[in-house]
């Protein structure tokens, strides 16, 4: 009798086995993509230097970078990483960046992240090579890849490179089926803008109507008015705006006041901040961001935006802020792993609020890959709609 | 198509340059705090644009009190220090990435305009016209101003109260800068350093105008026009 007794049938056994397999795969995927493993043993304190433009031309950007760095320190500690963030003012010039970088080196930091402009990132990359301290550029789009190709193994970048800005703009033109577009550059960022524009011209099938440049405010403070009024009379579907700074807001206002109705695609920055867009309340402004609160990339995305709001009482920045935050977490994760920091950064993957980071051979974060993509959205009827 | 808004900066920069020029020639100070006072006006407009002239006037008065015994170089340096203090205070108080100032849009002769910019344009126009009238009428005040500009010692000998003239100039110029800042920065994204751009441009106009010696004040508007035109053409 006992031999004929079976606790479960064959079918039930298959179902249970299937559930176990599915659960195992699910847990595997969760750990691989969304979970930052906390180090099992208590680690020695990891000092991470952060270069922030607290003074000078980029000081408004410095505010969010500093806040994001403090938030990253807090979150990293919650994740079990014993890190200490040391913030130094890098000003707006390469010379001030050099002084701040060397100060951080004297503090025995494991790595340095941050800086804002391209000239600052380039000098920081050179000093990183001299002092043999790893530097991760978290904002600038300067050509750092050629430094790596030339043998500087101490420089990495988790921010976009110029090409990716162009790729995103071209994708926007494709997704929206735009038949034509107009390029508006910003002269103080000419190299950066020209790099983006050349990629768009190469990748997009839409017709290029023309190209205009807004002069630096120190040469002609109201030059955006000239360009805006000139364009308002043209039949344009999409304007690609290369200025990520405050002038872009004045341009958009002036363009709409002059009667222009084209969709404006901003490369990001000021016009990518949801609170600014809501206050402006102008329809048809598209933008790219490294991440948006409404589009979850990892378990840190929402946490970053929510905690930033709680801690600092303001909307979190979705480019320079989030990428500085991610750069600190990348260093924390890389230092905590066995082996040396550079090989870890080269070989491993790292969790951030904007996605899962992996670095290419030229030490550039693989933006555009499945796990790490920029987000494109548009402001319409008082709401932000994610397009891509 | 050239619209009315195109000409706003022309008059606004001219009135700002006039303040700089008269501060230099009669109050004997290169007032470098005016850029930060302009920015302060923008930030004060968050609360109410009406308080801007009061704050501007107070800072102008403070500057006078602190620098009245200094020579031109020391007074100018002090004003730079004051500018940095204002900038840093703004940075500490407004610790956000960007501040977008509110603005109203009006339609005038079928053109959409930002109301605050239009008021700034009117204020500048009135200031320039009043100063032109002051310059054309052969009043005692005008003669006093001319004597102060030419020789301070002579002015004292003639019994002119140079301190009174100085305080009036610094208070009016600071109040005007602060008021125009609160109006002309409306609708823009501002940060604590934004005023420098406006100050530098106005300085350029004032410096060129100063080369015309006795005709300096009268030549401010045409120079402002030429500089504005040049900035569009370069």
Handedness of CA A158, A159, A162, A166 (dihedral sign): positive
Residue A317 has φ and ψ, to the nearest 5°, of: -75, 140
d(CA A132, CA A110): 10
Helices vs strands, H then E, count in chain B: 10, 4
Q: Name the residue among B1, B91, B98 with its Cβ closest to that of A246.
A: B98
How does pLDDT run across A173-225, given as a tens digit for each residue?
A: 999 999 999 999 998 888 889 999 999 999 999 999 999 999 988 788 888 99
Query: Rounded mean pLDDT of B90-113?
Result: 85
The percent of residues above 90 in pLDDT, for chain A, comes to 70
Collect all residues of chain B within an 8 Å Cβ-Cβ radius of residue A232: 1
Q: Kindly report the CA angle at A285 between A283 and A291, in degrees rounded to 5?
A: 125
d(CA B121, CA B100): 21
Q: Given this model, what pLDDT does residue A41 score?
A: 47
Q: Rounded to two decimals, what is the model's pTM?
A: 0.81
Collect all residues of chain B within an 8 Å Cβ-Cβ radius of residue A223: 231-232
d(CA A318, CA A302): 12
Binary contact (B192, A219; C-beta < 8 A): no
The span from the first CA to the last CA of chain B, in angstroms, equals: 19
- On the question of pLDDT at A133 being above 50, the answer is yes
- On the question of pLDDT at A345 being above 80, the answer is yes
Q: Given this model, what pLDDT does residue A221 score?
A: 82
State the best of B2, B97, B113, B115 to mutate against chain A, taking most chain A CBs within 10 Å.
B97
Assess B93–A contact: CB distance below 8 Å, yes or no: no
As a residue count, chain B comes to 234
Assess A57–B contact: CB distance below 8 Å, yes or no: yes
- Of chain B residues 177-206, which have a CB less than 8 A from chain A? 187-194, 197-198, 200-201
User: With bands split at pLDDT 50, 70 and 90, how would you rate the model's confidence at A92?
Assistant: confident
Whether residue A121 contacts residue A143, with contact meaning beta carbons closer than 8 Å, is answered with no
Q: Mean pLDDT score of chain A, rounded to an integer?
A: 89
Query: Helix B216-233 to helix A223-232 angle, to the nearest 10 degrees?
Result: 50
Residue A328 has φ and ψ, to the nearest 5°, of: -65, -40
Collect all residues of chain B within an 8 Å Cβ-Cβ radius of residue A60: 97-98, 191
Mapping DSSP to helix (H, G, I), strand (E, B) and coil, where does residue A317 land? coil
Query: Rounded mean pLDDT of B65-82?
Result: 95
Binary contact (B96, A246; C-beta < 8 A): no
Nearest Cα residue in chain B from A279: B100
Q: Given this model, what pLDDT does residue A193 score?
A: 92
User: With bands split at pLDDT 50, 70 and 90, how would you rate the model's confidence at A40?
Assistant: very low
A218 CA: distance to closest CA in chain B (Å): 6
- On the question of pLDDT at A98 being above 90, the answer is yes
- On the question of pLDDT at A130 being above 70, the answer is yes
A334 CA: distance to closest CA in chain B (Å): 30
B186 CA: distance to closest CA in chain A (Å): 10
Structure tokens at B77: 């340096």
Structure tokens at B10: 């022309």
State the best of A64, A116, A221, A254 to mutate against chain B, taking most chain B CBs within 10 Å.
A221
Q: Name the residue among B98, B103, B201 with its Cβ closest to that of A221.
A: B201
Assess B233–A contact: CB distance below 8 Å, yes or no: no
Instruction: Catalogue all structural domains in chain A, each as residue range(s) with its CATH number.
Output: 46-160+297-357 (3.40.50.2300), 163-289 (3.40.50.2300)
- On the question of pLDDT at A369 being above 50, the answer is yes
d(CA A8, CA A280): 65
Residues near A206 by beta carbon (within 8 Å), at least 6 away in sequence: A173, A178, A179, A180, A181, A237, A238
Q: Are strands B189-190 and A383-386 parallel, antiparallel or unpaired?
A: unpaired
A230 CA: distance to closest CA in chain B (Å): 7
- On the question of pLDDT at A342 being above 70, the answer is yes
Beta strands in chain B, from DSSP E residues, in sequence order? 99-100, 105-108, 111-114, 189-190
d(CA A294, CA A28): 25
- On the question of pLDDT at A363 being above 80, the answer is yes
Whether residue A158 contacts residue A365, with contact meaning beta carbons closer than 8 Å, is answered with yes
Collect all residues of chain B within an 8 Å Cβ-Cβ radius of residue A246: 98, 188-191, 194
Structure tokens at A49: 């230097």
Beta strands in A5-106, from DSSP E residues, in sequence order? 46-52, 83-89
Beta strands in chain A, from DSSP E residues, in sequence order? 46-52, 83-89, 111-114, 134-137, 155-157, 180-186, 207-214, 238-241, 263-266, 285-289, 350-351, 356-357, 375-380, 383-386
Q: Given this model, what pLDDT does residue A2 score?
A: 45
User: With bands split at pLDDT 50, 70 and 90, how would you rate the model's confidence at A26?
Assistant: low
Assess A220–B contact: CB distance below 8 Å, yes or no: yes
User: With bands split at pLDDT 50, 70 and 90, how would you rate the model's confidence at A374?
Assistant: very high
d(CA B162, CA A204): 68
H helix runs in A81-181, sequence order? 94-106, 118-131, 145-149, 162-175
Assess A134–B contact: CB distance below 8 Å, yes or no: no
Q: Mean pLDDT score of chain B, rounded to an integer?
A: 91
Nearest Cα residue in chain A from B231: A220
How does pLDDT run across A72-84, given as a tens digit for each residue?
A: 999 999 999 999 9
């Amino acid at each position: 009798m006992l031999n004929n007794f079976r606790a479960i049938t064959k079918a039930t056994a298959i179902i249970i086995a299937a559930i176990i397999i599915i659960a195992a795969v699910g847990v595997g995927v969760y750990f691989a993509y969304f979970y930052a493993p906390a180090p099992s043993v208590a680690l020695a304190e990891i000092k991470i230097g952060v270069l922030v433009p607290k003074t000078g031309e980029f000081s408004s950007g410095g505010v969010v970078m500093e806040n994001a760095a403090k938030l990253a320190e807090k979150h990293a500690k919650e994740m079990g990483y014993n890190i200490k963030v040391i913030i130094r003012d890098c000003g707006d010039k390469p010379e001030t960046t050099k002084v701040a970088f060397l100060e951080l080196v004297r503090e025995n930091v494991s790595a340095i992240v941050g800086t804002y402009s391209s000239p600052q990132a380039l000098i920081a990359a050179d000093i990183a090579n001299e002092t043999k301290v790893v530097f991760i550029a978290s904002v600038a789009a300067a050509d750092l890849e050629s430094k790596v190709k030339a043998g500087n193994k101490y420089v990495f970048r988790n921010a976009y490179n110029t090409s990716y800005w162009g790729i995103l703009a071209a994708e926007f033109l494709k997704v929206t089926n735009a038949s034509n577009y107009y390029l508006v550059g910003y002269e103080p960022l000419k190299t950066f803008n020209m790099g983006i524009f050349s990629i768009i011209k190469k990748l997009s099938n839409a017709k290029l109507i023309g190209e205009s440049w807004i002069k630096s405010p120190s040469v002609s403070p109201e030059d955006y008015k000239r360009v805006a009024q000139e364009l308002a009379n043209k039949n344009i579907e999409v304007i690609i705006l290369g200025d990520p700074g405050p002038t872009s807001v004045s341009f958009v206002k002036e363009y709409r006041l002059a009667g222009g109705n084209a969709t404006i695609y901003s490369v990001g920055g000021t016009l990518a901040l949801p609170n600014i867009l809501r206050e402006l309340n102008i329809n048809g402004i598209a933008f790219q961001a490294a991440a948006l609160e409404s589009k979850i990339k990892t378990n840190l995305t929402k946490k970053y935006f929510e905690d930033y709001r709680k801690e600092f009482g303001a909307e979190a920045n979705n480019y320079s802020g989030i990428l500085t935050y991610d750069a600190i977490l990348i260093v924390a994760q890389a230092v905590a792993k066995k082996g040396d920091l550079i090989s870890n950064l080269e070989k491993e993957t790292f969790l951030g609020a904007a996605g899962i980071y992996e670095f290419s051979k030229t030490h550039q974060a693989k933006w555009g890959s499945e796990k790490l993509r920029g987000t494109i959205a548009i402001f319409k009827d008082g709401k932000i709609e994610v397009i891509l | 198509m050239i619209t009315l808004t195109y000409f706003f900066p022309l008059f606004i920069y001219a009135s700002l340059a006039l303040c700089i020029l008269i501060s230099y020639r009669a109050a004997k100070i290169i007032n470098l705090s005016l850029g930060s006072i302009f920015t302060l006006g923008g930030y004060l407009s968050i609360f109410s644009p009406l308080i801007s002239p009061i704050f501007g006037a107070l800072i102008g008065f403070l500057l006078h009190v602190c620098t009245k015994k200094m020579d031109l170089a020391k007074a100018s340096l002090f004003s730079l220090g004051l500018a940095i203090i204002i900038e840093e205070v703004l940075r500490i108080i407004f610790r956000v990435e960007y501040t977008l100032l509110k603005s109203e849009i009006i339609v005038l002769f079928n053109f959409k305009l930002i109301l605050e910019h239009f008021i700034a344009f009117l204020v500048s126009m009135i200031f320039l016209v009043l100063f032109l009238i002051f310059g054309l009428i052969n009043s005692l005040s005008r003669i006093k101003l001319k004597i102060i500009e030419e020789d301070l010692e002579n002015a004292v000998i003639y019994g002119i109260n140079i301190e009174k003239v100085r305080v009036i100039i610094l208070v009016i110029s600071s109040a005007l800068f602060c008021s125009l800042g609160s109006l002309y920065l409306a609708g823009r994204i501002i940060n604590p350093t934004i005023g420098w751009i406006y100050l530098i441009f106005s300085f350029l106009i004032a410096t060129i105008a100063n080369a015309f010696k006795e005709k300096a004040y009268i030549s401010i508007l045409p120079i402002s026009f030429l500089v504005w035109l040049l900035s569009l053409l370069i």
